[in-house]
Amino acid sequence: MASRSGRGRWRIENGQLLLDSDKWPGTDFQLIESGSTKNNGFRIGISDANKNLLPFVDCLLKKGGETFGGTTNSRGELFIENADADSILLQFKFVPERVSVYRIKDATHNYFLFGFEPWLLEVFFKRFALDISGNDLKGGHPLLQGNAFTYKRSK
């Protein structure tokens, strides 16, 4: 399991702890290179110094109403045969709340190599509120549904 963290600003207002972070930059992947190959399909690669992260990227190719997809292998590679696309959607499996969309600018390109952005595992907050109840905090969870969570202060 990957460890996730967040950073930002907090304040107390009307009996609540309010958390705010910088806005998510809009993508968790950077395009390193792209090009054309002779293959009839799309080759997507993920590159990172931590090879343990490579097999956990879901990739979806979209063109109009059609979609094709898969998950990268242990080398961070995915080949989708007989596919055409105008967009690539990438999602790191341990960050299921975010999808990064890359619009293909050159229709002749069918090879794309991406890298992870440094904030990949960061949790982003926008006015996330927790009620202060004695030494506990009560409310929602930044990643899970529901409002019945209690956070206890550790000693």
Beta bridge partners of 73: none
- Residue 29: phi, psi to the nearest 5? -130, 145
- Taking residue 42's Cβ as centre, other Cβ atoms within 10 Å add up to 23
22-55 residue pLDDT tens:
999 999 999 999 999 988 889 999 999 999 999 9
Domain ranges of the chain: 9-21+124-152, 29-116
Distance CA 41, CA 82 (A): 5
As a whole number, mean pLDDT of residues 124-131 equals 92
Between vectors from CA 118 to CA 154 and to CA 31, what angle results, nearest 5°?
155
Pick the CATH number of 29-116 from 1.10.10.10, 3.30.465.10, 3.90.1150.10, 2.60.40.10: 2.60.40.10
Give the pLDDT band of residue 108 (cuts 50, 70, 90): very high
Residue 92 CB contacts under 8 Å (≥ 6 apart), including other chains: 28, 53, 56, 57, 98, 116, 120
- pLDDT reading at 4 higher than 90: no
For all residues of the chain together, what is the average pLDDT?
93
Residue with the bigger pLDDT between 111 and 143: it is: 111
Contact, 9 vs 20, CB < 8 A?
yes
Q: Percent of the chain at pLDDT above 90?
A: 74
Confidence band, pLDDT 50/70/90 cuts, at residue 1: low
Least confident of 88-92, 104-108, 142-146, 148-152: 142-146
Per-residue pLDDT of 77-107, as tens digits, reads 999 987 789 999 999 999 999 999 999 999 9
Report, as an integer, the average pLDDT of 54-72: 94
Rounded Cα gap, residues 92 and 60, in angstroms? 12
pLDDT score of 101: 97
